[in-house]
Amino acid sequence: MTFPARMDWALALLCLALMPSVAVAKRPNVLFIVCDDLNTHVSTSGYPHIRTPAFDELADAGMTFRRAYCQYPVCGPSRASFLHGLYPQSTEILDNKSDIRDVRPGTVSMPQRFKESGYWTAAVGKVFHNERIDPGDVAWNQVLRFENDEMPMVTPIREKFEAEHGPITEGRSRRRWREFYPTIAPQTRGQQPGYGPSGLQDKQHKDGKNALKICEWLENKAHGQKPFFLACGIHKPHVPFLAPDKYFAIYPKADLKLTPASLEFWRTVPKIAQTKRYEGFGFEFGVENEELRREYMQAYHACISFIDAQIGVVLEALKRSGHWDDTIIVLTSDHGYLLGEKFMWGKVMLFETCDRVPLIIRVPASISNAATTPGSSSEGLVELLDLFPTLAELCDVTPPAELQGRSLTTMLREPSSRGKEIAYTVVTRGRELGKAIRTQRYRYALWPTGEELYDLAADPREETNLAGSANHSKTLEAMRMNLTIVESRAVSKRR
């Protein structure tokens, strides 16, 4: 840029100083929504037994990725992976306790890089796994977490308890209350897990509060003149499976569709592929308890409809604020969840239901070189760690050189693009790793004590392990080689 010879140099310097902020302001905003423990029981993933109109609305405006996979089916490792764009073997976060700042100092997260690049960044709810490992003001201009209000059923019981023992926030009474609370009702069991109608309104749940805070930031223009990166961490359907009563009424237990569990399956699969989380849910391995299973499924589905409603609230606020046409929206989950299939419950496994996640990305028409075709979808393989390089490219943010994900902008432009050749997921068993890869047709898993191979085209429920089949020996050999190749890449950026 040139200036007239007589222009005051102070004014010229002021113009130059203002130029970067003007350029930054033209960059798109980002709304990043991540759910917790949400599997593919949503309409956009082809599940017909549940109502998710907000997911549908976003899918109608953007692109649905039907074969998106997490890199570790547990909250902490998965979030560390996609928030830093690295495979778990590179982040070295393989549990819910480790902090990447301890094991890999200096690693830059996605919100940190956006903040450093001139974005106003803010988060509500669970984005990083917990408050202890959240980077705080290094990554966020504002970050908040809420709690549910007290359930009405609990209030009189608590008041009676306090009259006898003293305040539940102090000393011995606090410990006694903590021990007593899970015995009140199924809703108070926490991770055991609890489930049932909460008696609360949407706005009294932490996810309702999360949605309303995002609305407030948008309406009050908390970002000022900067582009914004808003992260909305949706807690449900993580246990306890609590939601307002009205969402339970949508799903009569008798109408729920169950996938029968099979013991035959476990005769060909390494036992190490299991977990014993079913015990915490009150089940016995190999014994079908349909009544209890329906209780949990109803609660899980109620939670999904509840969070869908909160997501709808956020999308409406984005429209009211005038930012629908200049904001990129990402909606996904940290990993999937088993609900009694194969007699297994929860996560920490390498099955499709644990590792495949919903993923919808909407890029507005204002980003002409990568705008999504409304209502488009892709069958290409993608990984959650691809989100960091994708958003960085779309927003003209320079990503860290060490990122291991691959930008999805080509797929956003052209839905028929193939995507990746392989998606990679790992999980620990003690000090050992279970490792799985997916290709367009097969899933292969390698455990310290055995292997799994499934033809996902012919056997989408993964009921027949082909690892011992002579007819599939060449496929097995090819998958072993592919695993070796992708694993070498997954650890190549370790410091």
Q: Is 96 exposed, middle or buried (0-12, 13-18, 19+ CB in 10 A)?
A: middle
Neighbours of 442 (CB within 10 A): 20
Pairing assessment for the beta strands 338-339 and 359-362 based on DSSP bridges: unpaired
Q: Which residues contact 392 (CB under 8 A, 6 or more apart)?
A: 110, 113, 398, 399, 407
Per-residue pLDDT tens over the stretch 63-113: 999 999 999 999 999 999 999 999 999 999 999 999 999 999 999 999 999
pLDDT at 90: 97
Q: Measured between alpha carbons, how far is 256 from 339 in angstroms, rounded to an integer?
A: 12
Residue 77's pLDDT is 98
Q: Is 236 helix (H, G, I), strand (E, B) or coil?
A: coil
Element spanning 196, H or E: strand 195-197
Quote the CATH superfamily of domain 26-148+198-420: Alkaline Phosphatase, subunit A (3.40.720.10)
**Is the pLDDT at 4 greater than 70, yes or no?**
no
pLDDT digits (tens, 9 = 90+) for 385-433: 999 999 999 999 999 999 999 999 999 999 988 899 999 999 999 999 9
Tell which residue, 87, 38, 134, has the closest CA to residue 427. Answer: 87
Alpha helices, DSSP H only, in 321-400? 352-355, 387-394
Tokens representing 281 are 């849910």
How many CA atoms, within 13 angstroms, populate the side-chain half-sphere of residue 300? Answer: 25
pTM of this structure: 0.93
Residue 228 in this model has a pLDDT that exceeds 60: yes
User: Which band of pLDDT confidence, cut at 50, 70 and 90, is reported for residue 355?
Assistant: very high
Sign of CA dihedral 252, 57, 149, 301: positive
Q: What is the pLDDT of residues 428-451, one digit of tens each?
A: 999 999 999 999 999 999 999 999
Residue 3 pLDDT greater than 90, yes or no: no
- Nearest alpha carbon to residue 429 among 273, 252, 209, 239: 273
Count CB atoms within 10 A of the CB of residue 351: 23
How far out from the chain centre does Cα 447 lie?
25
Q: Where are the domains of the chain?
A: 26-148+198-420, 154-195
H runs (alpha helix) in 356-438: 387-394, 409-413
- CB-based contacts of 5-14 (< 8 A; 24+ apart in sequence): none
Q: What is the pLDDT of residue 494?
A: 56
Whole-angstrom Cα distance, residue 43 to residue 255?
Answer: 17
In whole angstroms, how far apart are CA 48 and each of 51, 243, 448? 8, 21, 37
- Contact present, 57 and 374 (Cβ < 8 Å): no
The predicted structure's pLDDT at residue 13: 38
Assess contact for 409 and 370: CB atoms under 8 A: yes
pLDDT digits (tens, 9 = 90+) for 132-159: 999 999 999 999 999 999 999 999 999 9
Mean pLDDT of the chain: 93
Q: Which residues contact 228 (CB under 8 A, 6 or more apart)?
A: 29, 30, 119, 120, 121, 122, 217, 222
Is residue 412 within 8 Å of 109, Cβ to Cβ?
no
Task: State the Cα angle at 276 between 270 and 277, rounded to 5°.
Answer: 130
Q: Determine the Cα–Cα distance for residues 144 and 156; give it in Å rounded to an integer.
A: 29
- pLDDT at residue 17 greater than cutoff 70: no
Tokens standing for 365? 């028409």
How are beta strands 442-447 and 432-438 bridged, if at all? antiparallel
Residue 370: band (very low, low, confident or very high) from pLDDT cuts 50, 70, 90 = confident
